[in-house]
Structure 1
Amino acid sequence: MDAPRLLDGRLKLRHLRLVDALSEHGSVVGAAAHLRVTQPVLTRALRDLEEILGVSLYDRGPRGITPTLYGSAFTEHARTVLAQLTQAGRHLAELADAGLGTVTVGTHLAGSNLLLPRAIAALKSDRPHLTVVIHEASPEALLADLQAGRVDFVVGRLTGVPAHGTVQRRLYDEPVRLVARRGHPSHRLADPTVADLIDYPWVLPGTETALRRELEQVFLRHDLPLPANRIECTSILTLRNLLVETDMIAALPMLIAQDDARLRPLPISLEPMSHTVGVTGPAERTLSPSAHALLEHLDAVAAGLISPR
Structure 2
Amino acid sequence: MDMPKLLDGRLKLRHLVLVDALTRQGSVVGAAAALHVTQPVATRSLHDLETILGVSLYKRGARGITPTIFGEAFTTHARAVLAQLNQAGRHVVELAEADRGTVAVGTHLAGSNVLLPVAIARLKAERPSLTVIVREGTPEVLLVELEAGRVDLIVGRLTAATDENVVRKTLYQESIELVTRSDHPLSDRVDLTLDDLRGFPWILPGTETSLRRELEEHFVRNAMALPDNRVEATSFLTVRRLLLETDMIAALPSLIARDDSRLKPLPVSLEPIGHSVGLTLSASRTLSPSTAALVDNLGTIAAEMAPTCD
Q: TM-score, normalised by structure 2?
A: 0.95
Instruction: Assess if the C-alpha contact under 8 Å between 1:179 and 1:266 holds in 2.
Output: yes
CA distance in 2, matches of 1:272, 1:261: 26
Q: Deviations over 1:96-153 (max 9, x none)?
A: 1101100111100112111111111111111100000001111001000000000110
Indicate how the Cα distance of structure 1 residues 239 and 163 shifts in structure 2: closer, same or farther if over 3 A, else same: farther
After TM superposition, the structure 1 = structure 2 runs for residues 234-249 of structure 1, keeping only pairs within 5 Å, are 234-249=234-249
CA distance in 2, matches of 1:275, 1:42: 43
3-state SS, counterpart of residue 295 of structure 1: helix
Q: Which amino acid aligns with 2:85?
A: L
1:142 matches 2:142: yes
CA distance in 1, matches of 2:101, 2:277: 26
CA distance in 1, matches of 2:148, 2:105: 13
Q: Which amino acid aligns with 2:226?
A: L
After TM superposition, the structure 1 = structure 2 runs for residues 28-43 of structure 1, keeping only pairs within 5 Å, are 28-43=28-43
Q: Which amino acid aligns with 2:87?
A: Q
Provide the residue aligned with 1:66 in structure 2.
66
Please list every run of at least 4 consecutive aligned residues from structure 1 whose deviation after the TM superposition is greater than 4 angstroms. none
Provide the residue aligned with 2:296 in structure 1.
296
Instruction: Assess if the C-alpha contact under 8 Å between 1:101 and 1:131 holds in 2.
Output: yes
Indicate how the Cα distance of structure 1 residues 210 and 163 shifts in structure 2: closer, same or farther if over 3 A, else same: farther
Q: Which amino acid aligns with 2:84?
A: Q
After TM superposition, the structure 1 = structure 2 runs for residues 113-192 of structure 1, keeping only pairs within 5 Å, are 113-162=113-162, 164-192=164-192
Q: Which amino acid aligns with 2:94?
A: E
Q: Where in structure 1 are there 5+ consecutive unaligned residues?
A: none
Instruction: Assess if the C-alpha contact under 8 Å between 2:255 and 2:309 holds in 1.
Output: no
Provide the residue aligned with 2:261 in structure 1.
261
Provide the residue aligned with 1:198 in structure 2.
198
CA distance in 2, matches of 1:197, 1:27: 45
Instruction: Assess if the C-alpha contact under 8 Å between 1:171 and 1:277 holds in 2.
Output: yes
Q: Which amino acid aligns with 2:60?
A: R
3-state SS, counterpart of residue 133 of structure 1: strand
Q: How many Å apart are 1:252 and its aligned residue?
A: 0.7
3-state SS, counterpart of residue 187 of structure 2: helix
CA distance in 1, matches of 2:42, 2:136: 28
Indicate how the Cα distance of structure 1 residues 48 and 272 shifts in structure 2: closer, same or farther if over 3 A, else same: same
Q: How many Å apart are 1:190 and its aligned residue?
A: 4.2
Q: Which amino acid aligns with 2:273?
A: M
CA distance in 1, matches of 2:166, 2:259: 31
Provide the residue aligned with 2:100 in structure 1.
100
- Larger mean Cα displacement after TM superposition, 141-150 or 245-254: 245-254
Q: Deviations over 1:132-184 (max 9, x none)?
A: 00011110010000000001100001123235410011110000111111111
Provide the residue aligned with 2:273 in structure 1.
273
CA distance in 1, matches of 2:236, 2:29: 30
3-state SS, counterpart of residue 231 of structure 2: strand
Indicate how the Cα distance of structure 1 residues 32 and 264 shifts in structure 2: closer, same or farther if over 3 A, else same: same
Instruction: Assess if the C-alpha contact under 8 Å between 1:199 and 1:228 holds in 2.
Output: no
Indicate how the Cα distance of structure 1 residues 92 and 266 shifts in structure 2: closer, same or farther if over 3 A, else same: same
Identity over aligned residues, as a percent?
63
After superposition, the CA RMSD in angstroms is 1.5
CA distance in 2, matches of 1:294, 1:161: 22
Q: How many Å apart are 1:22 and its aligned residue?
A: 1.6
